[in-house]
Amino acid sequence: MSKTAGCCQNCLHYIFDYETPKTLVIPSLRVGFVFRFTQLLVVLYVVGYVCVVQKAYQETDSVVSSVTTKVKGFVFTNTSDAEPRFWDVADFVIPPQGDNSFFVLTNMVDTREQTQSRCPELPNPSTTCADDCDYIEGYNDPRGNGIRTGLCENYSTTVKTCEVLSWCPLEIDTKLPERALLAAAENFTVLIKNSITYQKFNFHRRNILPHINSSYLKICEFNRKTDPDCPIFRLKHIVSEAGEDFQDMAVKGGVLGILIDWSCDLDWWAGKCYPKYSFRRLDNKNPVNNVAPGYNFRFAKYYKTADGEETRTLIKAYGIRFDVIVFGTAGKFGIVPTIVNLGAALSFLSLVPMVTDWFMLTCMRKRELYSRQKVTYLTEEADTESVSDVH
């Protein structure tokens, strides 16, 4: 037989030789222990982790949510810098009726009786000047406070700055009160109304649960131990549960998250679906990198004087922005994921003999004997000769 023919015959044997399972009983406690222990690990993984923890037998859906908020409270201030004033929701909450985000004013710098006129720019290295030739008329510096007129005016007895066309007098926001002006805002309350839907399961729920009525809402306040279902929260308690002090946070403001978790098991044997509340500060509070800390923005209130001149009060508002973040996933028994994961479990069990064979043929002292007994090559010519000798 030529070398080429032998090579072709070997390839044909490699492709078409049939391997049939053979039962080989190994009377070894070590091999048996490895086999049963591997089976146990697979069963624990499938039952304990896949079924119990991951609930892989369920179909899942993500929550669809809507949120409305309503803040209540009022405060009276009487400081040396301003006349006595009463503040209500329209003054310190923006917007007064919020959705999933609302802002509570806690501190401010206000600049009153501004009119559109000309005034010297605030002194800094880029605005100080010596005469009118230092600056170009009409130049607009985005970091400045107005459009330059080209004139150099006295800002004080010792400093001259370029003149700008702007709302004058200019805002000086460096004198921020060390104690929050509206420190009493910690006692304000917010009612959060949250409705959620799991569309795949046609499931709808509100955070105002069925047992809550109007009388209860008038007297309740969220408390994790005594009133965990009440949807009315005191701002001080929200900030406190986030690990912050309200009075410290109120000076320069910040961003705080109200997290509502609607993760639910909708199977009939565990069909309870209630919101779980948690609170967390969302903005970066880094004592080392404290550039531009807190949260603030500006807004203005406009007026007309008796002679028709337009004036405004500019307010740089510091406060806490509350973001209501709703998330969650619901699961319910489904035949398709159950069959898929059952098939995956059976495939894992089919790997157990392979692991045991590897241990037996690699780690056991009698591995050569086991190898000879496990794999048998059938030679048809030898079998035919033995049959002829018998006859």
Binding residues for ATP: 70-72, 189, 296-298, 316
Say if residues 238 and 230 touch (Cβ distance below 8 Å).
no
Residue type, 257: G
Specify the residue for token string 């018998």.
390
Could you give the maximum distance between any two Cα atoms of the chain, in Å? Answer: 135
Closest by CA to 265, choosing from 58, 45, 48, is: 58
Residue type, 313: T
- The values of phi and psi at residue 315, to 5°, are -120, 120
Exposed e or buried b per residue across 279-313, where buried means at least 16 C-beta atoms within 10 angstroms of its C-beta: bebbbeeeeeeeeebbbbeeeeeeeeeeeeeebbe
Residue list, annotated binding site: 70-72, 189, 296-298, 316
Closest by CA to 114, choosing from 165, 48, 182, 189, is: 165
Euclidean distance between CA atoms 335 and 58, whole angstroms: 8
How far from the centroid of its chain's Cα atoms is residue 242's Cα? 14
Task: Could you list the beta-strand ranges (E) of the chain.
Answer: 58-62, 64-72, 75-77, 85-87, 93-94, 97-98, 101-120, 147-154, 160-168, 189-198, 203-206, 232-234, 254-261, 264-265, 276-281, 296-304, 310-327, 329-333
Strands 203-206 and 189-198: antiparallel
Q: How far apart are the first and last CA of the chain?
A: 31
Structure tokens at 381: 């010519």
Euclidean distance between CA atoms 112 and 63, whole angstroms: 47
Structure tokens at 94: 């923006």
DSSP code per residue over 205-266: EESS-TT--HHHHHH---BTTTBTT--EEEHHHHHHHTT--HHHHHHH-EEEEEEEE--EE-
- The values of phi and psi at residue 38, to 5°, are -65, -40
Closest by CA to 232, choosing from 217, 247, 248, is: 217
